[in-house]
Structure 1
Amino acid sequence: MYKIVEKRRLNPSVTWMTIEAPLIARKAKAGQFIILRVDETGERIPLTVAGYDPDKGTVTIIFQKVGKTTMHLDELEVGDFIQDFVGPLGRPTELEGYQKVAVVGGGVGCAIAYPQAKALHQMGVKVDVIAGFRNKDILILEKEMGEVADHLYVMTDDGSNGNKGFVTVKLQELIDAGENYDLVIAIGPLPMMRAVCNLTKEAGIKTIISMNPIMIDGTGMCGGCRIKVGGETKFACVDGPDFDGHQVDFEDAMRRLSIYKPQEKRAMEDHICKLGGIVNNG
């Protein structure tokens, strides 16, 4: 059992939660993830390690309420316990040898982009962070990202924070202005990462993306997280989650991500009904 020692809302649908997990905290690195199970009847879900403190023995996760398990997790409070919390899993992001990096996060993907930017900042690398959101009301981690970035650019689709445009618009502006990035890290929705990769491929800039497909065991045994990279089948849990964005088959990844949508919808409806909510199927 793993105790929740901190919980705070980043926006109405995104939650920051810190868990007592000393063994994981001592070994975790940027880019890795954990798999948790809320209770003994719950499903296993992967969440990226958003932060870790070896001295306190804690690990931070940031999640969005998008399904039954994340809704159930969000119902827990400080002092409650999570049944299983396994990790660190996956390969750490390879950050050595770079001088100037652009870290691009989209929406809740900024929760994954932030530890990458923080690790680079601690290594003395110059880091520009570009964060994108639909509107200013759902901004997360603006203060934290600003503390680890040489320059932070926050974009909104509707311009409600004064900076209208997609993250690719700002990235293109910076490249056109002469910013010589030797690496771009893009983390967020698949369409966003694909758009960033199309831009950086044309500009000749190496690009790493973090893949978060459907995952069950986290050890490469089930094959549920398989993706196509450079024409070969890879498993995000053991070969990733980071991959060369110019080699990933995004179309295949997006098809696989939608496979279980009907089952996810039914599970969500069942959970809401148990809470006394009303489901409108009309």
Structure 2
Amino acid sequence: MNLTDQLGTQHTFETSPKRIVSLVPSQTELLFDLGLEEQIVGITKFCVHPFHLKATKKIVGGTKKVHIDKIKELQPDIIICNKEENTLEMVEELCQICPVWVTDMYTIADNNKMIEDFGKLFNVRTEAQKWIDKINFAHQDFLKFIAPFEMQKVAYFIWANPYMVAGNNTFINHLLELNKLENIYAHNEKYPERYPEVIVQKMRIQGDPDLIFLSSEPFPFKDDHAFELGRYSHHAKTVFVDGEMFSWYGSRLIKAFDYFKKLRLRIGELHLHHSHSH
């Protein structure tokens, strides 16, 4: 079986890989949802969905730093990584153990490709197709829902001290666009990085958002961050959002579309209320 991963690396497998180490939380959840729980042998400490896996599978470290020896002991047939979550050095080192399959995620289409690839790799094509169909249906349904909404400008914060945001060429930005939210930092030549550190004091002149999103992960934002950031905008509403819904790919997207509907309605109410008070 010859298959090419999302980095263009070609892999050859005699038989479908049976022992899987997954180093990406959202992909661990997807593997479980594809019915592959038995085949998963190793995960990271950040693989929190489904919750019971932490008790039943070997934890081999985090997403940036793993215990190579622990992975070797598990004798995996395949290790699943992601270009953004895991480092190149890590991937190169892991390649000495067994094939390392790397995903690369910018869009919903990339996500569907990953699910399709996993279907072929692990011989669960029917299950994979079911998830792709569900995601496509939810996606189309969401496009209808979002159509009447007006475009609003947003800043999506992922870190404080220093303040960092999601920029261009990120899965988060793709989902913001889907929500008809224009990311003020996405096409700003001052901030070409994907997750730039920004000067919040310049937020007004650098785009003046209608909304400031504070992601629940990877940084635990508090009310004082919300107040501080709010002061640097003219009128932005500061909203705490579920980071998993904006940054996890895989089967979680199904839950994300429902979450976005509730979020947009909640923001919509704020928006209407706001415009009446002038």
TM normalised by structure 2 equals 0.31
Structure in which a larger fraction of residues adopt strand: 1
Structure in which a larger fraction of residues adopt helix: 2
* Higher CA-based Rg: 2
